[in-house]
Each structure stands twice: as C-alpha cells, then as structure tokens.
Amino acid sequence: MREELFENDDAEHEAESIDVLPLAEDEDSPIPALREVTVQVVKLGSDGQPKPASDDDSDDEGESVVVLEDPDGLAPKPAALSMWAYALATLFDGRRSAREAVAAFAEKFKQPLPVHHALELQIELDRALFLYSRRFEKVLKRQIRTYLDNDNRAPSHAGTAYPSDPEALTQTVLNFFTSPDGPAALPRATGANTVRALMAPHIDLRVGGATYAHAYSELIKKSEADLFIILGVAHQASGDGLYYVSQKNFVTPGGESKTARDIARRLQKAAGTEIPLAEMAHRTEHSIEFQTVLLSTVMQREKRDYEIVPVLCGPVESYISNDTDPMQDEGFQRFVNALREELDASKRKWCVLCSVDLSHVGPEFGHSAMMTEKLLLPMERGDRRFLKSVANLDSKGAFAEIARTQNARHIDAVLSVLTMLEATKGVLKTGRLLHYDQMFKEGSHSAVSYAAMAFEE
C-alpha cells in the first residue's frame, strides 16, 4: 500500500477549483477535499514515539504512521494518520461522498472499509484544519485578517529551523562562522564599503550555516550598509506576480528587522501586486526570514541600525516556456527601474541581498531519476557555469544558461539574481564566489546546492 497511496491517479482533478464545503452529514453527501499538505512516513518505536521510517522497515504498515503538516502554517499542529486512513483521506476530493470514497478505496487497495470510517475520518481531519471545510474557511479568514492588520511579521520557523531562544540563537549563528567549513570567527568591521550586493543561501540554517557565514563575514568586513534590499523567492505565493513586496517589520528571536516602509510602499506600487496578496506571500516564506535571522544577530553585535525592504521574486519558467527574455518584460523593467531609482535617491549605504539556492534535483523535486553521490559533480559543473556568468555580472549569459537547459535543475532564485544584476548595473564591478556546497538527501535520493557570493563596486 505504501507505494500506491503516494501515487496520484486523480490528476484530472488538480486543475479544477476546490469548493469549500460543510461536513458531510450522511453517507451520500460530498466530503470536503483534503488540503494540500506535506507528508512524512514515520516509524513508531517501542516507546510509541515516532522515528523516521527506514527503507528496511517501510513495508511494516502496522507500526508506521503518516504525519501531515500544513505548509501554510494555518493548522496549529501536525496530524498523524494510520497508513489506511491517509490512503482514504487522499480520496477526499470535494466530490466523493463517504460511500463513494470507501468504494474507491476498496477498488484501489482491494480492501473493504465500513462507510462510517470515512465520516469519522472527515471529523478528525476537520478538527485538525486539513480539509477545505466551513470551519477551515472561518479560521483562514480570521488568521488572514489578524495577519494583515499587524505591522509585524512574526517568525514562522523559529523552534524548527533555528532556536527560538535568543541566547541559543545567537550562539548558533556564531557557531556557523567557526564550523569546519566556516570562514572563522565573526570578524569586525574594517571601515570598507565596497560590497554592494551579496548572495546567501536560503536552505535550512541547520544545513547551510557555514555558507551563510561566508556571505555575512564579507558583509561585516566590507559593507557599512544600513539599508538592505532582500530579494527572496516566492515559493508559495498565489497568483502569477513577478514581485511581492512586504511593508511589515520582520521579527526574529534575536531582534527586529525594521522595514523601510516608504521605499517598500513605492516598490509595491511598481510591482503591481495587490497588497493583501503580496503580504500573504511572506507569511510563512523562509527565504527572507532566514536572512533577517542572520542580519539581526550580526548587526546587533555590530551595534548598527539598519532597515530592510523585503521582496519576493516569482519564477522564470513562463519566460523559458515562451522563449522570451524576462529582462525585456515590461513588468520586470518597471520594477528594476523603480528599485534603481530608490537606491540612487536614498543617499544611504545600501546592499542588495539575494537569497538564493541553486539546483534542486531528484524525485523530491519532480524528477523521475534518482540522485546519487556520483551525480553531485555534474550538478556542480552546471551550477558553476551559471555562477560564472553571475560573477561576470552577465545577466543575459546567466539567463541563457538557465534557458539552455529549460531550468532542468530547478534553480528557483533566477529572477532574484537577474533583478540584482540589472538594478545594480554600472555600480558593481566584480563578483566573487565565496563558498559552494551541496546537501545530498539519501532518503529521497535528492540533492540541493547553494552558494555565497560577494559583489563589489
């Protein structure tokens, strides 16, 4: 069952809109659809506590559970289901009734279930906010109103990707610098102000801490910036916008990164994305949050006041599929010109900070082929071709390299890099690769690469 329940044989439903429904009160009313969730199969140990399931025991269904988590952060906690319950839940599409769901389950898995199991499961999932139900709709509207009315964006990943305790967070960040692959202890400022742009990862801080440290070490040594334009990636944004600008302050356990709201407001207008849509794109997005974690820590140590402008950038896939140049796009040019005007007019010491991960390869990212350690070197060669163009400040060459492969390696921060290069054209004179690294995930046979770069005038 384990392999079958992760196969999607209802692809024709994906393109259709999903209605919000009341809970089914009888066997023949439609059950609300299961929301888009992330899932992980875990093994229950002898103490009843979950542990990751290994390849050797993955078929032991009696002792495995499926843990559902909400990537949007709306559900208060994960939900754990048995393998059969998750298999049944995947059949909740907003159209099937309880009777139809168990019939589809029996047909697919050759195992009958009582109809009342489907009705009971919908109640359990509804309480956990994993269904497109009336209850979920009310909670969603309340949380959206609360979030939009707040001037601050609360940390979304504290306690998971990094410590929620301020002292523990500070020590964690400082340890990034002295780790085996790090640049050595956090340096002191030298009084130089030649670094005007940086590339840093947005991979999990627990994985890429040393690479983050290489970027921020260069920032401390060679930048006196007090204004940071952070160009992240809109991983979960709704709509097809190019840019999503937030006007909120970003709060972390280590301190607050205040947003230059006047600049953010003008850039938001240039982006053309509706304010609620733009703000919601930032709600649980990590690519800017992780940069503010590093910034708040190192700037507090430097006793330097600063402001940020948080900008999430959309994908480039539509340009690639249409064989068009994003840098000739009216929306791209309008935003880049507005950003350049803001930098020129601010009279402040500024730095553009690109939050960038590189290749995402393997089944976890939609590839049919499994990634192996032997394939890490070819992946690195492809990354370095892209990074060479970026280091040469060649935005056309960088995009051409991505377009040449149809972005087969799923580099998700292309627009962030192109925006930085175009907005700083004539200011930057050189780019340097500071550090490159890869994370190989044996369990999913997938890999992610990331780098740190510095760009000087």
User: Given a cut of 50, is residue 12 above it in pLDDT?
Assistant: no
- What span, in angstroms and rounded, lies between the C-alpha atoms of 352 and 345? 15
Q: Are 212 and 203 in contact (CB under 8 A)?
A: no
Over range 283-292, report the average pLDDT: 96
Instruction: Find the farthest-apart pair of alpha carbons in the chain and give their distance in angstroms, rounded.
Output: 73
* DSSP label at residue 1: -
Over range 389-412, report the average pLDDT: 96
Residue with tokens 């992330």: 38
Instruction: Write the Ramachandran bin of 110: left for phi over 0, alpha for psi from -120 to 50, otherwise beta.
Output: left
Q: Are 371 and 390 in contact (CB under 8 A)?
A: no
* DSSP label at residue 371: P
Provide the residue type at 31 as one letter: I
Altogether, the residues listed in the chain come to a count of 457
Q: Going by C-beta distance under 8 Å and a sequence separation of 6 or more, which residues neighbour residue 417?
A: 199, 354, 356, 390, 395, 398
pLDDT tens-place string over residues 75-119: 888 999 999 999 999 999 999 999 999 999 999 999 999 999 999
CATH code for the part of the protein at 156-456: 3.40.830.10
* DSSP label at residue 30: B
User: Given a cut of 60, is residue 54 above it in pLDDT?
Assistant: no
User: Given a cut of 60, is residue 15 above it in pLDDT?
Assistant: no
142 vs 435 pLDDT, higher one = 435
User: Given a cut of 50, is residue 124 above it in pLDDT?
Assistant: yes
Separation of first and last alpha carbons in the chain? 58
- What span, in angstroms and rounded, lies between the C-alpha atoms of 312 and 120? 40
User: Given a cut of 80, is residue 44 above it in pLDDT?
Assistant: no
DSSP string, 35-63: PP-EEEEEEE-TTS-EEEPPGGGTT-GGG
Task: Name the pLDDT band for 72 (thresholds 50, 70, 90).
Answer: confident
Over range 201-215, report the average pLDDT: 97
Output the CA angle 345-350-353, nearest 5 degrees.
125
Over range 186-214, report the average pLDDT: 95
The whole-number pLDDT of residue 309 equals 98
48 vs 337 pLDDT, higher one = 337
Over range 379-403, report the average pLDDT: 97
- What span, in angstroms and rounded, lies between the C-alpha atoms of 112 and 153? 47
Tell me the torsion sign for CA atoms 113, 117, 122, 125.
Answer: negative
User: Given a cut of 70, is residue 5 above it in pLDDT?
Assistant: no
- What span, in angstroms and rounded, lies between the C-alpha atoms of 380 and 440? 12
Helix (H) or strand (E) holding 107: helix 98-109
- What span, in angstroms and rounded, lies between the C-alpha atoms of 410 and 46? 40
Q: Are 1 and 109 in contact (CB under 8 A)?
A: yes
User: Given a cut of 50, is residue 412 above it in pLDDT?
Assistant: yes
Identify the three-state secondary structure at position 398.
Answer: helix
- What span, in angstroms and rounded, lies between the C-alpha atoms of 172 and 418? 32
User: Given a cut of 90, is residue 295 above it in pLDDT?
Assistant: yes
Q: And the tokens for 246?
A: 């937030």
Which residues are registered as beta bridge partners of 66?
Answer: 41, 81
pTM of the model: 0.82
407 vs 238 pLDDT, higher one = 407
User: Given a cut of 60, is residue 2 above it in pLDDT?
Assistant: no
DSSP string, 114-129: -HHHHHHHHHHHHHTT
Tell me the torsion sign for CA atoms 334, 384, 433, 244.
Answer: positive
Q: And the tokens for 315?
A: 């994908």
Q: Which of 170-184, 335-349, 363-377 has the lowest mean pLDDT?
A: 363-377
User: Given a cut of 60, is residue 212 above it in pLDDT?
Assistant: yes
Strand ranges (E), 298-429: 307-313, 350-355, 357-361
Q: And the tokens for 402?
A: 């991505």
Identify the three-state secondary structure at position 356.
Answer: coil
* DSSP label at residue 194: -
**Helical ranges in 272-375 per DSSP H:** 275-281, 286-302, 317-321, 330-346
357-361 and 350-355 beta bridge pairing: unpaired
Domain with CATH 3.40.830.10 in the chain: 156-456
- What span, in angstroms and rounded, lies between the C-alpha atoms of 18 and 94? 7
Share of the chain above pLDDT 70, in %: 91
Q: Are 34 and 92 in contact (CB under 8 A)?
A: yes
User: Given a cut of 50, is residue 258 above it in pLDDT?
Assistant: yes
The torsion defined by the Cα of 133, 134, 135 and 139, in degrees rounded to 10, comes to 100
Q: Are 453 and 433 in contact (CB under 8 A)?
A: yes
Over range 254-270, report the average pLDDT: 96
Identify the three-state secondary structure at position 102.
Answer: helix
Q: Which of 4-8, 79-83, 415-419 has the lowest mean pLDDT?
A: 4-8
- What span, in angstroms and rounded, lies between the C-alpha atoms of 297 and 308? 14
The whole-number pLDDT of residue 14 equals 42
- What span, in angstroms and rounded, lies between the C-alpha atoms of 14 and 90? 12
The whole-number pLDDT of residue 51 equals 58
C-alpha 269, offset from chain centre: 24
The whole-number pLDDT of residue 201 equals 97
Over range 294-298, report the average pLDDT: 96
User: Given a cut of 90, is residue 429 above it in pLDDT?
Assistant: yes
